[in-house]
Amino acid sequence: MRESIGVIGLGYIGLPLSMCLCERGFRVVGIDTDPDKVRRIEAGETDVQEDYRGETLQQRLQRHLAAGNFIVSSRTAVAAWEATTYLVTVGVPVHPETKALCDEPLRMAMENIGRVLKPHDVVVIRSTVVPGTVESRYVPILEETSRMVAGVDFHVAYAAERVAEGRAMEEFQTLDIVVGGLTEKCAALAAQTLQKLTDGQIHITDLRIAQLSKVIENAQRDVNLAMVQELQAVAKAHQVNLFELIQMVNTHPRVQMLLPSVGVGGYCIPNAYHYLSASLDDTTGADLPLFRTARETNEGAPQRIARDVAQSLADRGRSMKEAVVVVLGLGMKDGSNDIRQSPAIACAKAFQSLGAVVRAYDPTVAPLLPYQVSNVEDCLRGADAIVVGAWQPAFDHLDWGRLFGLVNPTAPVILVDPRGRLEARVLHLPHTTILQRA
């Protein structure tokens, strides 16, 4: 008989995780409190983009539903009927303006699990959390609702996911996993299950270290990306291409700078500083000026881009209030249709605040925003500035020579293309004089 496992939360992480577990021979009961999402998944539909070994995530979902490897419900009790291990992927969002953390979804998930928890069950939290809250906040909820003692009657461990959206199917099954348990037995039981998921190594450590390591992984990338943002000004002052500069720097074997972009988006990196800061109370006397400054630098990137474009236009006697600005790609990163904390959308808002007419084209993102245009021709027609927000695979196959015949022909078009992908496709065109970097 196959081992059953419950996955709590079926978003950009939970659904690919569920499919990986099915691939590894588990029967998976997926739980999500969103009834519309549950209905769509039951029908074999998902907007999560993951291609792996020639098959989309939706194709895998349909196959595993048909084979009975995967069932989905909005009721945690359904998982309790057959599963003895729960993997929790419910996140802790950060409010984009106030920066307040909202862990209500995760607390509700803990309550729902606690109500159906059986003796000897294992709960593994895979969400990124404020370090220290597993033992101080979520374990007590499980104990109160189950009326059992954690580490004695049931087991709790923490093993944050480390995958990148778009590569989750591969990375869930290949990356190392860091595991911390409430007790040694808790950690060992969690490691036993997770080793069946990945070919990577399982690293067992202290519960607090496991929570901290995930947050610091993301915070380190935030700092690295902030340095890249500051180098934009250096490259501009020296009139060199930043992307090429970073490529040359990275030829040193002990240097690995990240690539430039219009900002830092998604659910992980932008939240890391806020999780880490929230874990430190006033009594510690600890301050995090480097992490805080990095976050401010990255968060301010879209506004700086808008100001630079406005200045480039003004230098040639043109006003932002009369300009049409095009944003190509709205995902939070290249190849993604996830728009949570998308820097491309932040750019669009920044341009709107300066009075520009904004249009955006992204064939992978549902038309939820008023400035989205359904086809690239209408988006580019008469453009005064073009911002490459997120490069989508469909962009590789467009006839940019024809499309650039649609932009404003009366003055140079301002181009913000941090990695030079669009620029590389149009440099050979006879009318490249219309292009000017911001």
pLDDT at 223: 97
The token pair at 200 is 């990577």
CA angle (354, 313, 438) in 5-degree steps = 95
Give the Cα separation of 93 and 107 in Å (integer).
12
pLDDT range class, residue 287, cuts 50, 70, 90: confident
pLDDT per residue as tens digits for the range 69-107: 999 999 999 999 999 999 999 999 998 889 899 999 999
The helix/strand/coil state of 287 is coil
pLDDT value at 436 more than 80: no
Total number of residues shown for the chain? 438
Examine the pLDDT at 146 and tell me if it is beyond 50.
Answer: yes
Among 29, 194, 189, smallest CA distance to 126 is for 194
Instruction: For the chain, give the percent of residues with pLDDT over 90.
Output: 83
Residues 373-402, mean pLDDT to the nearest whole number = 94
Question: pTM of this prediction?
Answer: 0.92
Q: Between helices 269-278 and 207-237, what is the axis angle to 10°?
A: 130
- The answer to whether the CB of 83 falls within 8 A of the CB of 49 is no
Helices H / strands E in the chain, number of each: 18, 15
Q: How many whole angstroms separate alpha carbon 169 and alpha carbon 122?
A: 23
Q: How far is CA 311 from the centre of its chain?
A: 31
Residue with the bigger pLDDT between 316 and 29: it is: 29
pLDDT band, residue 438 (cuts 50/70/90): low
Half-sphere exposure of 139 (CA within 13 A, CB side): 21
Distance CA 366, CA 374 (A): 10
Per-state percent for the chain, helix, strand, coil, to nearest 5: 45, 15, 40
Instruction: Dump pLDDT digits (tens) for 195-208.
Output: 999 999 999 999 99
Q: Looking at mean pLDDT, say which of 223-227, 257-261, 264-268, 336-340 comes out highest.
A: 223-227
CA angle at 397 for the pair 391 and 403, rounded to the nearest 5°: 85
Architecture in CATH of 224-437:
3-Layer(aba) Sandwich (3.40)
pLDDT tens digits for range 128-145: 999 999 999 999 999 999
Residues of the chain with CATH 3.40.50.720: 4-205, 224-437
pLDDT of residue 405: 86
CATH architecture of 4-205: 3-Layer(aba) Sandwich (3.40)
- What residues contact residue 77 under an 8 Å CB cut-off, 6+ apart? 115, 116
- How far is the C-alpha of 153 from the C-alpha of 129, rounded, in Å? 24
The pLDDT, as a whole number, for residue 429 is 59
CA distances from 171 to 41, 177, 212 (A): 22, 10, 21
Average pLDDT over residues 164-184: 96
